[in-house]
Structure 1
Amino acid sequence: MTDQALKPRADQAAAPSKAPPDPPGGRRRILAVDATRGAALLGMIAVHSLNDTDALGQPTWSATIFSGRAAAAFAVLTGVTIAFLTGRRRVRASAALPTMTTLLVRALAIAAIGLALGYTDAATATVILPYYAVMLLLTIPLVFLPTWLVALTGIAVAGGMPVLTHILLPRLAEPTHPNLTFGWLFTHPLPSLVELSITGMYPALTWMAYLCAGLVIGRLNLARLRTAIALLATGTAFAVAAAVTASHLSLLALEHIWPAQYASTLDEYETLDLINLGGDGTAPTSTWWWLAIDSPHTGTPLDLLGTTGTAIAFLGMMLLAARIARPVALRWLVTAVQTPLGAAGSMTLTLYVLHTVFMSSSYDNYTPTTGFIVQLCGVLLLGLGVRATIGKGPLEALVTALTTASRRWTTPAARRPQRARTPGNVANMPLTGPSGGEHGTIPVGSEASR
């Protein structure tokens, strides 16, 4: 959920496409990426805070818009983050040890935070951080692959993991612990791993489709207008294709799902809820036709395609808005929207933890709508306040410190960037990042120094 992304200056909409990839550690933030992440955070808060059904039992607007899509957007953006962390290109063998160590430490830090959150009320929401930690570990071998092979891996996962999950689920135990904790992990390591990887709310193996998509996107030049348009068009095509296909298959699927209901553990109302509101990470296995639905959190191919498309399209829209906002009034509007979202999106780990703790505390005694508004205002104001003062969320700073130290320990001294000006080598003099050097060094002549 954290992101050391690249952020261009307000008066610089795009950088030349010929700019070299950023070196690992040399990063700035892209406001539109942070704003997309901030919007995804608000979507998750809406899902957790607001009612998912109305008085008639139909999905509410918040469930229809955000359920499944907000969490998927986070996963896609996690892949974008990893691309930024690894220089937006395939990692070379010479940088293997520092890269693997950095991602491993990041995964362990996020897992520790997530397991600590596991002691909160599981009825509020399933903590997603331990699942993200497993996804980070699974992404380590992907950073050494060429982009086309990462994309091919994502396609294979999106098409193959739902089928494999359908085969494995009857042979695996159902999840028994909604939120994993340190104690449960240490006493039940294998069931915990199975839940995090296959049977849980956010099954890491299936969700690697999102990470692959994000890793591919993060290696693109996101400052180019052409890239923003391509992302918007591609994401929209994915989402529409999934919705249209599911619509055409729905009646045929239901003709097989209803008769097979008696062979499953679901009653009629539970089956309706799963179809209308979504599942708990996987689809039932009473019939193969369950894989033809696109309900949220079912992990079917159409669910993965549609939610990936929505995330990609929204990111493209945010990038496009920042790129073409030339009239003063329109530019002001885009800035007014993206700035608070971007501030919140730059510290989503901290804000997600605060949201989870708040929802599980006695302070959350509001009505659903009021509680959401309180959290909405709190998230945006806190993000702006932190951005204007200390610059980085405390948990983001902790993870950055740990990963920076791990990279320093595993990088040979001869390959570490020099911070002092050397005669005759002014062109390669490193510049500290916008947060006092915590973003690493950026060589002069790169995209970040223009």
Structure 2
Amino acid sequence: MTRSPDRAPARGPAAERVTGVDLARAAAVVGMMAIHVLPGEEAPGAGGVLYALAHGRASGLFAVLAGVSLGLATRRAASPAQRRGARAGVVVRGLLVALVGLLLVDAGSRVAVILPYYGVAFAVVLPFLWWPARRLAVVAVGWLALAPLVSFAVRAAQDLQPRYEQPTLGWLGRPGDLLEALTLTGYYPVVGWAGYLLLGLAVSRVDLRSPRAALGVLGAGAAAAAAAWAGSALLLGPGGGRAVLDGVAGPSAVDLARFYGTVPTDSRWWLAVVSPHSGTPFDLLHTGGTALAVLGAACLLPAAVTRFLHPVAAVGAMPLTVYTAHVLALAGTDDQSTGLLAAHVAGALVFATLWRRVVGRGPLELVVGRTAAAAAAAVAGRPAPVG
């Protein structure tokens, strides 16, 4: 990947929105909608294909893009005071995002809400915010490969079982259970998922408006995704892992198993699977790679194409608002159909386009952004921004 200068130019990626990032973020949001709404890969026609493509990859893309956004938002902080303020802003942003997630669960969400985990992951990456691209890339890949091994060892030693009950505001009175669920045993355990944000931070260091850089991101992502998939296949096939797992969990265990953040600890061979949401090294590296490939491809789209995609970019510019509205709209309904998905996507496109044209930033993005900016200004000892 081609690195940009340490300090962003006045009109560089940190100063303006990168349309490709918004388009990739919209793809992540729509992909998560598909997983929440469609009945599965057995959905008829294109719905089944979309579900298969999005399963596990959409949420990974969402997390990688969180890292990109953090990198773009903080990269221009140069002085110690500015960096202290930027860290405070990131912490406040993460707390508010996590709070929105807990409230969504309290509201009766039928989906596994990613936001509490997402918000906590912000705090984990604070020490890495201004690391250079190459070092970040190495740490991110190492994190995605090794963190699942640490998780497996800790869960096995402590006999920690997966938590399918989602954290709510009431869990703030149970800090031990809350910490365990968010970091190790929940749907999106931060111990592994923080690696996605680190990967996004590394990508934020390159000029994504450069076709050469975007092509490098796409190529690196595609290569990583393919290598992870091939490595899993080799270990499970010629390596003998599938036979062991079939003996542990029954015939076709690998093909039939469904994971929700972690794998069982009754055999180390589970760490070789690449199944969606298994949280193994191969799953995280594959989905991290596909996230880079999608981002690179989105940034390579020519202006002649992106000019017609403003409604899609508008959705990507307010992902917290659109995701929250989507989750709330699903509360109290069990409908699973391509028609419902189409309604949610259409509603998001219309709302985001109109709101962005009339108001600008999404409502939740505006509240979270202003609160985080005020905290950053207070810590840095400068006036709070206006507007």
- TM (norm. structure 2) is 0.90
Q: Percent identity?
A: 30
Residue in 2 aligned with 1:154? Answer: 140
Match of 1:31 among 9, 19, 23: 19
Matched, 1:64 2:35: no
Residue in 2 aligned with 1:243? Answer: 229
Matched, 1:164 2:138: no
C-alpha contact 1:50 1:62 (8 A) present in aligned 2: no
Match of 1:217 among 194, 203, 206: 203
Match of 2:318 among 347, 350, 364: 347
Residues 340 and 19 of structure 1: CA distance in aligned 2, closer, same or farther (over 3 Å)? farther
Deviation at 1:268, TM superposition (A): 6.1
Inter-partner Cα distance in structure 1 for 2:154 and 2:287: 24
- Superposition map of 1:5-404 within 5 A: 20-21=7-8, 27-54=15-42, 60-87=48-75, 93-122=80-109, 124-170=110-156, 171-176=158-163, 178-186=165-173, 188-251=174-237, 252-261=240-249, 272-274=255-257, 278-322=258-302, 325=303, 331=304, 333-336=305-308, 338-361=309-332, 364=333, 366-404=335-373
Matched residue SS, 1:60 = helix
Deviation at 1:335, TM superposition (A): 2.4
Inter-partner Cα distance in structure 2 for 1:294 and 1:37: 23
Task: State how many pairs are aligned.
Answer: 378
C-alpha deviations, 1:424-448, integer Å up to 9, x for none?
A: xxxxxxxxxxxxx74xxxxxxxxxx
Matched residue SS, 1:173 = coil
Inter-partner Cα distance in structure 1 for 2:139 and 2:334: 45
Deviation at 1:271, TM superposition (A): 5.8
Inter-partner Cα distance in structure 2 for 1:356 and 1:176: 20
Inter-partner Cα distance in structure 1 for 2:127 and 2:269: 33
Residues 162 and 217 of structure 1: CA distance in aligned 2, closer, same or farther (over 3 Å)? same
Deviation at 1:120, TM superposition (A): 3.3
C-alpha contact 1:114 1:130 (8 A) present in aligned 2: yes
C-alpha deviations, 1:166-204, integer Å up to 9, x for none?
A: 111231432445221111222x11111011011111011
Inter-partner Cα distance in structure 2 for 1:163 and 1:88: 35
Code of the residue aligned with 1:370 in structure 2: it is G
C-alpha contact 1:210 1:308 (8 A) present in aligned 2: yes
C-alpha contact 1:92 1:144 (8 A) present in aligned 2: no
Inter-partner Cα distance in structure 2 for 1:55 and 1:365: 15
C-alpha deviations, 1:299-343, integer Å up to 9, x for none?
A: 111111110111101111111113xx5xxxxx1x4422x322210
Residue in 2 aligned with 1:12? Answer: none
Inter-partner Cα distance in structure 1 for 2:7 and 2:149: 40
Code of the residue aligned with 1:319 in structure 2: it is C
Residues 367 and 26 of structure 1: CA distance in aligned 2, closer, same or farther (over 3 Å)? closer
- TM (norm. structure 1) is 0.78
Residues 320 and 271 of structure 1: CA distance in aligned 2, closer, same or farther (over 3 Å)? closer
Code of the residue aligned with 2:80 in structure 1: it is A
Inter-partner Cα distance in structure 2 for 1:165 and 1:88: 34
Residues 162 and 176 of structure 1: CA distance in aligned 2, closer, same or farther (over 3 Å)? closer
Matched residue SS, 2:261 = coil
C-alpha contact 1:52 1:62 (8 A) present in aligned 2: no
C-alpha contact 2:112 2:166 (8 A) present in aligned 1: yes
Inter-partner Cα distance in structure 1 for 2:43 and 2:196: 34
C-alpha deviations, 1:27-54, integer Å up to 9, x for none?
A: 3211110111011100000000001142
Give the unaligned 5+ runs of structure 2: none
C-alpha contact 1:25 1:87 (8 A) present in aligned 2: no
Inter-partner Cα distance in structure 2 for 1:73 and 1:103: 20
Code of the residue aligned with 1:273 in structure 2: it is L
Code of the residue aligned with 1:81 in structure 2: it is S
C-alpha contact 2:166 2:186 (8 A) present in aligned 1: no
Deviation at 1:154, TM superposition (A): 1.3
Matched residue SS, 1:210 = helix
Residues 137 and 52 of structure 1: CA distance in aligned 2, closer, same or farther (over 3 Å)? same
Inter-partner Cα distance in structure 1 for 2:179 and 2:323: 23
Inter-partner Cα distance in structure 2 for 1:110 and 1:373: 26
Inter-partner Cα distance in structure 2 for 1:143 and 1:19: 12
Aligned CA-pair RMSD: 2.6
C-alpha deviations, 1:246-304, integer Å up to 9, x for none?
A: 2233322211101122xxxxx76876432xxx411011122111111110111111111
